[in-house]
Chain A
Amino acid sequence: MVWPIDLAVLTLVVMVAIGSLMVKDLLGAAILFGAYSFMMCLLWTVMGAVDVAFTEASVGAGVSTVFFVGAVFRTSRRTRD
């Protein structure tokens, strides 16, 4: 485990997670959530759990982002709270 990479990815995970909750634009939140999944995927890979990383990359960063974008497209892009 290389600690500078680990630290950078962990910082990005926390930043992207907070960002996806804070941002008002739901499309932006969906994209940030995809970025969060991808950072988690990197983290799983660093920890050696390649199977979990693969699932996270395909399900979390791939298909669920598409579902979120589809749902935002069919409802509204601005959040009220």
Chain B
Amino acid sequence: MKIIGLIVAVLTGGLLVYAAEDFPAWSDPASPASTYLSPHFIEKTIEETSVPNIVTAVLADYRGFDTMFETTVIFSAGVAVFLLLRTSGPKTQQTRLYRHQLTGVTLRIKEGADLPPSDNFERIDRFWTPHDLIIKTVCRLLIPFIQLFGLYVIAHGHHSPGGGFQGGVILGASIILLAISHDLRTAVKRVAEKMDAVLCAIGVLIYAGTGALCLLLGLNFLDYKALAPVLHVDSIMARSHGILIVEIGVGIAVMFTMIWIYNNVSSGGKYNQGL
């Protein structure tokens, strides 16, 4: 089996190298991409969209349709992981043990009964790990800064490298860090499973809805010039603002998909205990 795999890999690689021979030569000024496509983007992007970062303008405006389906791919990945892994079988544990952290008193809670209203209880089961003050404190200090940086990356994608995908991943990683440093329950208490599912769909909806709004206002799908009367700006700034709106949608979708995938993968779909 290993030999067959090696042969297939070498054959595919050889075909790829053979096909790459037909590419235009590296930095060939006569190639189609360098004669009209790249010069147009390099010279006209600022005039047409007032976005200094050409990559963002191409990604979210000139080929916005493609990026919309990239977001859909990420959304589908989250849904696929959910459908494959999530189990909602009968709970095996009838009684659960909780310890009050301040006094050390351990309570046995029967099925269906509620805890006394206090945040100081921790669950004791076979996955219980000792409280680690340094890791928890450092992560608690770091997470707000990570989230602030994520928001900056989304909002500043027009001027510097970044945008919805990177910012969304950073925002999702901050919640994943919370789940790793504390435990999965702490993270799920803040970002519930239903919230993950609803918000990653809403992110895609913001993107597609912006496109549909342009369509309703009389221009092509995802042609942000149509948003100018709605946003009270001229048509060039409308393209810039349209990019920001769809980047926010991408950020929301990516952030909550990452959290959703992490929750399902790390707990094996049971949501009882993460890493």
A residues apposed to B, CB below 8 Å: 50-51, 53-55, 58-59, 62-63, 66-67, 69-71, 73-74, 81
Decide: B176 and A63 in contact? CB cutoff 8 A.
yes
List which B213-231 residues lie within 8 A (CB) of chain A: none
B residues apposed to A, CB below 8 Å: 1-2, 53, 55-56, 59, 153, 161-163, 165-166, 169-170, 172-173, 176, 180, 258, 261-262, 265-268, 274-275
B180 surroundings in chain A (CB, below 8 A): 66
Majority SS of interface residues in chain A?
A: helix
B56, B161, B261 interface centre (most CB from chain A within 10 Å): B161
- B166's partner among A58, A74, A81 (CB-CB below 8 A) is A58
B163 surroundings in chain A (CB, below 8 A): 51
- B268's partner among A58, A62, A74 (CB-CB below 8 A) is A74
Supplied contacts A63-B173, A63-B176, 20 more A-B pairs, CB within 8 Å: A50-B161, A51-B55, A51-B163, A54-B162, A55-B165, A55-B166, A58-B166, A58-B173, A59-B166, A63-B262, A66-B176, A67-B261, A67-B262, A70-B266, A70-B274, A70-B275, A71-B265, A74-B265, A74-B266, A81-B1
A70 surroundings in chain B (CB, below 8 A): 262, 265-266, 274-275
* B58 vs chain A, min Cβ distance (A): 10
Decide: A63 and B169 in contact? CB cutoff 8 A.
yes
* A36 vs chain B, min Cβ distance (A): 17
* B175 vs chain A, min Cβ distance (A): 11
